[in-house]
Amino acid sequence: GVGKTALALNIASHCAVKSGLKVAVFSLEMSAVALVRRLLAAEARINVKRLTRGLLSKSVDTRQEASDWQRLAEAADRLAEAPLWIDDTAGISILELRGKCRRMLMEHGLDLVVVDYLQLMSSGLRAENRTQEVSAISRGLKAVAKQLNVPLLVLSQLSRNPERRGDQRPQLSDLRESGSIEQDADVVMFINRKNRALQAGDAGEDEEDWRLAEIILAKQRNGPTDLFKLVFLEEFTRFENPEFSSYER
């Protein structure tokens, strides 16, 4: 993938850990354990594959090993204290999600809801086709945001149209299975990563180039569209501002 889940988790973690905002993450594809592993890797800047395989203790550089474990422990402490909740109910419906969000709002407060991702949700309604169901889910999520007065960050799949075009930057028309997603959303952002093309055989690019990711602000209801760049440190599942990133592995 292009890093949708990584970026969403980075946003959720920043809101909860750095700003103390109350965040709920609904993960329909990945388990809560897998999400926590990614959160730890990103927060501690530790290679997620080595963390998953338990290879940190086999580092040749013992100083780096101690540093890894220290960063991991510190990251775990920060995340444990953060007001961040993860729900990995598969195929959750709009009704179930609204009920859980309302309960969190009443008991703890709620500042942000992340849904990963829209096409895996259930509308809870009978639909003649998949397009109608996705439209119903999109409208339902919009209603939840308005009813609870809480922003929703909702991930969505794209069609394969960008891969067929000369310019592979995603467009609003690429949103998969429903034009209503574009209509319902206040803000639409896309991730465009050059390294996907480079991996297909392009050469001559340095590391900084293939790590750069374009964040395309394709729609903003109350503002202009725009494009900005971040660095995607895939081994840490972490996005950073280019000026603050050292590109260290």
Q: What is the model's pTM?
A: 0.84
pLDDT per residue of the chain (249 residues) written in tens, 0 to 9: 788 999 999 999 999 999 999 999 999 999 999 999 999 999 988 888 878 877 675 454 555 555 778 888 888 999 999 999 999 999 999 999 999 999 999 999 999 999 998 989 988 777 778 788 888 999 999 999 999 999 999 999 887 665 666 667 888 888 766 668 888 999 999 998 865 555 544 545 555 567 788 899 999 988 898 898 898 888 888 998 887 655 444
Element (H, E) at 229: strand 226-233
Structure tokens at 119: 């096409």
Whether residue 211 lies inside any domain: the answer is no
> In which domain, by residue range, is 174 found?
4-188
Who contacts 188 (Cβ-Cβ below 8 Å, separation ≥6)? Answer: 172, 175, 181, 182, 217, 218, 219
Maximum pairwise Cα distance, the chain: 60
Q: Are 104 and 38 in contact (CB under 8 A)?
A: no
Q: Is 208 annotated in the active site?
A: no
Whether residue 229 lies inside any domain: the answer is no
What is the CATH classification number for the domain harbouring 167? Answer: 3.40.50.300
